[in-house]
Amino acid sequence: MKTEDAKVLRDKLALWFVANGRTLPWRSKPDPYAVLVSEFMLQQTQVVSVIPFFKRWMERFPDLKTLADAPESEVLLLWQGLGYYSRARNLQRAAQMVLSRFEGRIPNNPIDLRALPGVGAYTAGAIACFGYDRPAPAVDANIARVLARLSNQQAQVDTAEGARLLWELAEVLLPEGSGGRQHTSALMELGALVCLPKNPKCLLCPIQRECRATEPETLPRKSPRRSTVALEENAAWITSGKDVLLEQQMGRRSRGLWKFPTFFNKASPLPLFETVYPFTHHKVTLRVYEASAPEVLPTNQRWFALSSVLDEVALPAGHRRALVALIGADAGTLSQEIKPTEDGI
Ligand code: SF4
């Protein structure tokens, strides 16, 4: 694309964005820390779902230092409901690294930003753009769709070659000097509101004249999806008086979270509760059975008061759902099954 064509396209996008862009809490007063938080939350989660979590987070952790110094258990608790807890841990480690390595100032260029844990090419570009208004390319799913259609790109966008073509086009379209914030927001918003995955609103699109897509709904092309794998998880509901027994997780993905202990008795009666929840490309069926306490508690198990456990610890989605239902049952209000959500582990 020629420089003058890129400018025409940018101007059209800017005009459209001024009239149609949504007001989002992290856009209203751009500050690099707020952008860092919002970008971590938006990885794998939609804007509307993120807004209440973002507001709550900023009240509790209004700056890098507060976040860096907070106990990890509290960070995970505030993240609960967003899923993919490794993002919360990385966000806290990123805050700690900014304080120790960058004198408390979040870097303004993608190269330094990529040194932070959990910051990939997109997040680095987004922080440089939205936090500092720099013209840095940032290609998320919405922008990838717009760019693939704009250029009628047939290469699969999740291959190295397809991604390279998209990032090159994103770079060509950038304004010079500054203005990255508005430009990238406009492209992203066009993908979210007009250039939709299904039924794109091409007749309302400000860059329809420049768009080369002949069959927009077939773009962007992607490699075939990994099929979903079914998993089963049997958990134990162990109570003593007004307490419930939980077990702290140590694995890479779920370190710091709490779950029901594993239930090992195969000749079991009917489960007290059953639900299905998604976890990456798995579909997990969780069954919870009544069980007795072990004679000696393993070091990673602890009793929690039923009255406050939901406010105190972070649990994977399915376990939290089970706990809510079983505490309700204890109070005589058990509702049978609760619909699965998309929040994973
Ligand atoms: S014209 Fe249609 S396909 Fe092309 S960018 Fe606009 S909405 Fe997307």
CA of 193 to the centre of ligand 1 (A): 11
Level-2 CATH architecture, domain 3-218: Orthogonal Bundle (1.10)
- Best residue among 142, 190, 193, 205 to mutate for probing ligand 1's pocket (most ligand atoms within 8 Å of CB) is 205
- Ligand 1 neighbours by CB, cut-off 6 Å: 146, 149-150, 194-195, 200-202, 205, 207-208, 211, 213, 216
CA of 211 to the centre of ligand 1 (A): 6
Atom of ligand 1 nearest to the CA of 194: 7
Residue 55 has phi, psi (to 5 degrees) of: -65, -45
Fill in the DSSP letter of residue 203.
G
What residue spans define the domains of the chain? 3-218, 229-330
pTM score above 0.85: no
Contact indicator for 12, 206 with CB cutoff of 8 Å: yes
* 229-330 CATH choice from 3.40.50.300, 3.40.710.10, 3.90.79.10, 3.90.1010.10: 3.90.79.10
Write out the catalytic residue numbers.
Answer: 39
Per-residue pLDDT of the chain (345 residues; tens, 9 = 90+): 777 889 999 999 999 999 999 877 777 668 999 999 999 999 878 888 899 999 999 999 999 999 999 999 999 999 988 888 889 999 999 999 999 999 999 999 999 999 999 999 999 999 999 999 999 999 999 999 999 999 999 999 999 999 999 999 999 999 998 899 999 999 999 999 999 999 999 999 999 999 999 999 999 999 988 889 999 999 999 999 999 999 999 877 777 899 999 998 766 678 999 999 888 788 999 999 999 999 999 999 999 999 999 988 999 889 999 999 998 865 544 333 333 333 334
Contact indicator for 72, 92 with CB cutoff of 8 Å: yes
What is the rounded CA–CA span in Å between residue 88 and residue 190? 28
CA of 189 to the centre of ligand 1 (A): 12
Atom of ligand 1 nearest to the CA of 204: 7
